[in-house]
Structure 1
Amino acid sequence: MNLFQKYGGADFWSDFLNVFYTRITDSELLSRHFADKDIDHIKSMLIGLLEVTLVTEGHYPEDSLKEGHKNMGITGAEFDNWIKIYTSALKDSGIADEDAASILALVQGYRHCIVTKP
């Protein structure tokens, strides 16, 4: 069974993203990137990303990620903080350590598409 369905499909991952984005928008370092943003739209896009990567073990189009993040000015430190919050949300949502490691490896693989500032 793929990781998307293993934990309950779209409903589980939607709940996970609710927890995650509550933490992100509370982050002093990251909240500026989400001010005046449609968080529900972002979560909807991320459900699609999770489904593509966790169901098919496919690769999300890097050009789309680069385009979506190119004007955000995301630093390496911000990305690292995002990963820290994502990791804690995975753990707190009951994702097994080995599954969390797989998911985090996928996300880390997109770092070069998201980080635009040193």
Structure 2
Amino acid sequence: MTLYESIGGETAVRAAVDEFYRRVVTDPDLAAYFADVDLARLKAHQRAFLTAAVGGPTAYQGRSMAEAHAGLGITGAAFDAVVAHLVATLTRLNVPTTEIAQIATALGPLRDDIVGSRTSTE
């Protein structure tokens, strides 16, 4: 059984992404990162990414993490807060701690691609 299947498949991924974004957009330390973002589009990308990351049937075909986050000025603290919100979301949805740990571990290597400096558009 894949991790995707063990957490509940598409239904679980959809619920997790919806709950996760409810958390991050209302977090005062993270809300600014999402202020001008098409949330419906972002959720669709996140569902595809999460599905692929946990062994689901869909291959993620979006931009690389470095490309998608370039110039956003995401700090290490913001990255950690996002991961914490994901862990809290999965915990709330009764995903077993072993699976949560596997997902959190898979996110670690993405840190260098996501955390970076804000680029100027001036």
TM-score computed with the length of structure 2 as normaliser? 0.85
Task: Supply the AA of the counterpart residue of 2:9.
Answer: G
The 10-residue stretch of structure 1 (15-24 or 63-72) with the greater mean CA deviation from structure 2: 63-72
How far apart are 1:106 and its partner, in Å? 0.5
Partner of 1:68: 68
The question of 1:93 aligning with 2:93 is answered yes
Task: Supply the AA of the counterpart residue of 1:23.
Answer: R
Q: Residues 20-70 of structure 1: CA distance to partner in whole angstroms, max 9, x if unpaired?
A: 1001000011000111211111111111112222116xxx78x71101101
Q: Which runs of 4+ in 1 moved over 3 A?
A: none
Using the alignment, how far apart are the partners of 1:111 and 1:20 within structure 2? Answer: 18
The question of 1:13 aligning with 2:2 is answered no
Task: Supply the AA of the counterpart residue of 1:90.
Answer: L
RMSD: 1.8
Task: Supply the AA of the counterpart residue of 2:97.
Answer: D
Partner of 1:53: 53
Using the alignment, how far apart are the partners of 1:52 and 1:111 within structure 2? Answer: 18
Using the alignment, how far apart are the partners of 1:19 and 1:51 within structure 2? Answer: 15
Paired residue total: 114
Using the alignment, how far apart are the partners of 2:43 and 2:3 within structure 1? Answer: 18
| Mapping for residues 33-44 of structure 1, pairs under 5 Å | 33-44=33-44
8 Å contact from structure 2 (residues 7, 99) kept in 1? no
- Counterpart secondary structure, 2:36: coil
Using the alignment, how far apart are the partners of 2:6 and 2:38 within structure 1? Answer: 28
Gaps of 5+ in 2: 118-122
- Counterpart secondary structure, 1:109: helix
